[in-house]
């Protein structure tokens, strides 16, 4: 069973090498697909200095289009059996991949969400941000009939064959509600597992903001009723 780890990147020069090191140390058959989404802080130069190898592919997009667009590019390159979405900001720990893929390996799930709200260790930070996440998750659950605790989590892990059945469109953070809505509509088997979370604040480079939360409301409705 081979993993395809897809890492969308935008302006993460300070964490990029560490993320790649942590992913590389995971003792599982895998490929790593890094998609730079038009970084302007030196991340592209750093990535260009790293040689691609048999299990590492680096793709440089010509301009910034958003996380969803970067993920679509990465998804088009996967050759593994299971896809793992990995952010490049060190908030999520690749050492937890074995726990995340276990329900799929055991044929209990087609899709696994790593939940930050199921009791795993986490940095105490940004109360209103966590409230917003929970509200969006509840609204998504109401329209998908899923009972997730963390719809907005980065850690979405799924059988690669699902990409042949789902057409993704959103360019920015709309990927999260869009993917969830389409998974719910198709009645894939979904599991959640607890994960650790080392969140960061906006002074440390966090990018998602309240405007993305408002947009998520629109996408939750859009992909329930119109797509």
> Which domains, from first to last, does the chain contain?
3-225 (3.90.550.10)
pLDDT(66) > 70 = yes
Note the pLDDT of residue 109: 98
Q: Percentage of the chain surpassing pLDDT 90?
A: 71
Note the pLDDT of residue 226: 73
Task: Please indicate whether residue 171 or residue 98 has the higher confidence score (pLDDT).
Answer: 98
Spatial separation of the C-alpha atoms in residues 182 and 163, rounded to whole Å: 11
Note the pLDDT of residue 131: 77
Q: What pTM value is reported for the model? A: 0.89
pLDDT(216) > 80 = no
Find the range with the poorest average confidence among 32-41, 148-157, 199-208.
199-208
Mean pLDDT, the chain, whole residue set = 89
Note the pLDDT of residue 215: 72
For residue 124, with 0-12 CB atoms within 10 Å meaning exposed, 13-18 middle and 19 or more buried, which class applies? exposed
Note the pLDDT of residue 207: 53
pLDDT(31) > 80 = yes
Confidence of residue 128 (pLDDT cuts 50, 70, 90): low
Note the pLDDT of residue 16: 95
Over residues 135-163, the mean pLDDT reads: 94
pLDDT(124) > 60 = no
């Amino acid at each position: 069973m081979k993993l395809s780890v897809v890492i969308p990147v935008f302006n993460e020069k300070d964490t990029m090498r560490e993320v790649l090191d942590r992913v590389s140390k995971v003792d599982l058959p895998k490929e790593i697909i890094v998609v730079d989404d038009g970084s302007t802080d030196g991340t592209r130069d750093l990535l260009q200095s790293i040689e691609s190898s048999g299990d590492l592919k680096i793709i440089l997009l010509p301009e910034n289009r958003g996380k969803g667009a970067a993920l679509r590019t990465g998804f088009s390159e996967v050759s593994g059996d299971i896809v793992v979405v990995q952010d490049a900001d060190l908030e999520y720990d690749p050492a937890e991949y074995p726990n995340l893929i276990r329900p799929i390996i055991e044929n209990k799930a087609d899709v696994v969400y790593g939940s930050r709200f199921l009791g795993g260790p986490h940095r105490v930070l940004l109360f209103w941000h966590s409230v917003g996440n929970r509200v969006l998750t509840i609204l998504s659950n109401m329209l998908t009939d899923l009972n997730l605790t963390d719809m907005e989590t980065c850690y979405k892990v799924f059988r690669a064959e699902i990409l042949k059945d789902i057409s993704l469109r959103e360019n920015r953070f709309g990927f999260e509600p869009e993917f969830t809505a389409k998974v719910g509509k198709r009645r894939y088997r979904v599991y959640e597992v607890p994960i650790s979370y080392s969140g960061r604040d906006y002074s440390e480079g966090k990018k998602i903001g309240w405007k993305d939360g408002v947009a998520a409301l629109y996408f939750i409705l859009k992909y329930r009723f119109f797509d």
